[in-house]
Amino acid sequence: MAINYSGEDFVLNTLQGVNGCLGKLEYLNSLRDENGTIHHWGLEKIYGAERTGAEFESAYGHSLNQLLRTPYQVLWKEFMESCTEKERAPQTFLHEFRENIFKHMPKEFDEAQNLHVRQVLDVVSALADHSRS
């Protein structure tokens, strides 16, 4: 699933190799330092840290918007595939994923968008709980 993002090609090329919006969000959060700033060493050497960080932050917001437009069935499939691929327990993975998403919500997201993200992740969490029983 490609993101609808009109940003720089170097960001698009980097994210093309990452499957699904959950995967993109997880990948982008994995690039963050302890202060929450996204870094990509190779691209920073070419384009500079400020430009690279800004483009990746923009892609993060677009990926969150994609999450809000993705049907729950698709998110659930992505989620379960990711857990299997990484050999992680669904609840552990989801807890860490949710924590990172809420910690790094874009400043331009309004309250409705924040609540919508929370609702989508609550549904995926409920599905994970239900699958364990």
Q: How do residues 50-71 score in pLDDT, each as one tens digit?
A: 999 999 999 999 999 999 999 9
Sign of CA dihedral 43, 44, 45, 47: positive
Domain residue spans in the chain? 9-132
Mean pLDDT over residues 119-123, rounded? 93
So what's the pLDDT on residue 3? 41
pTM of this structure: 0.86
With bands split at pLDDT 50, 70 and 90, how would you rate the model's confidence at 125?
confident
